[in-house]
Structure 1
């Protein structure tokens, strides 16, 4: 459907080499054309940045010549399991609305004052289309339904989320159950989030059966990091702001995930400008280490 509406694969964007490394030699020969790079003449992204959580993005192992080979790796390796998403990302919704000029429908002076990066809904300009993890008419509330708001303190706290329907057995459901938590801290604070445990349950690339999405990003419009493997136990993230949305989702059997959170400390990467050469060198070193391990 995305192709019919005018989209290329995200990993074919003209600027993709700034965000992922493609291992052409690991791709099945008959599928290599699906990874061809577009040019600025054929690919207009309307000034919208790359999103690893795009539904138009292949997974990290897609069409590998041999099982287990990486065909691409994100420059931020923590996004590896996010590639191959089954969810339409917020940035894709924004790009589609720009592509068909729907964003011009709502008068900026008389429309909703959307917060947290949302934009007025073209079919109801007094309500907003919100980034993942945000809800309410103005994107300033936690989405309705399962989940709660939790206050971080200096001492770590934990909580468990159980989601899914094991009564349905080992059958993939057509829809997902979702549960959104907001971890909050005083203004000016950062939040440290740690994965304490995840189930040893079946899953696929892109965390398409179940997963937990943690958005610690500076730009909350981006898809957060997604995790869905018991090997992710111990993963620790530190936010840029004082609010971290955590989204649990399940479309297969039932899963239980335990999280820990507390007011965090600033890491080296938070202190370095994201566009600086030092920051890019740190990222490059991580990519090389991940590629070596695989």
Structure 2
């Protein structure tokens, strides 16, 4: 998206970074080494991810969540199937504290957010050859496994 205040930089959707939003955004301050890029094949593969808030569960939470991002690419002309198969997260209305987000496109919008066991094993189809997976934690940690092909 165009940045009207700085024409040489774009305003990137969540999960994207760089001057022209062509890079995977790094993990947040407390999780700098998480995330990555995967290449999809015809076989099911798995992302195992976690993000930590380093805040205990005594009623405290972060206003801005800790986050981490993974991108999955398939060959041009192919779409991806994705399924959340494991989740350890704070289950809450609207997934307000912790969640896993599956962005199937278009990426400027929020994707499907999951935070409860009842959200597991739903299969989604991307709009094109790109999938973005995000994990957020305002309290404790979010751990997950996502399968894709």
Global fold match (TM > 0.5): yes
Tell me which protein shows more helix as a share of its residues: 1
Indicate yes or no: 2:40 matched with 1:158.
no
Indicate yes or no: 2:107 matched with 1:220.
yes
- In the other structure, the counterpart of 2:66 is 177
**RMSD of Structure 2 on Structure 1 (CA):** 1.5
Closer, same or farther in 2 for the Cα pair 1:215/1:165, shift >3 Å? Answer: closer
Unaligned runs of 5+ in 1: 1-117, 263-294
- In the other structure, the counterpart of 1:195 is 84
**CA deviation string 1:205-262 (max 9, x = no partner):** 2211010111113x32221111111111101111111111111111111121111011
By relative contact order (CA 8 Å, sep 6+), the higher-ranking structure is 2
- In 1, the alpha carbon distance for the partners of 2:69 and 2:134 equals 4
Closer, same or farther in 2 for the Cα pair 1:176/1:138, shift >3 Å? Answer: same
- In 2, the alpha carbon distance for the partners of 1:160 and 1:229 equals 17
Indicate yes or no: 2:87 matched with 1:206.
no
Deviation, 1:123, is: 2.4
Tell me which protein shows more strand as a share of its residues: 2
- In 1, the alpha carbon distance for the partners of 2:112 and 2:145 equals 16
Specify which of 123, 131, 147 is matched with residue 236 of structure 1.
123
When Rg is computed on C-alpha atoms for both structures, the one with the higher figure is 1
Closer, same or farther in 2 for the Cα pair 1:173/1:227, shift >3 Å? Answer: same
- In 2, the alpha carbon distance for the partners of 1:165 and 1:141 equals 24
Verify the 8 A CA contact 2:53 2:65 in the aligned structure 1. no
Alignment size in residue pairs: 141
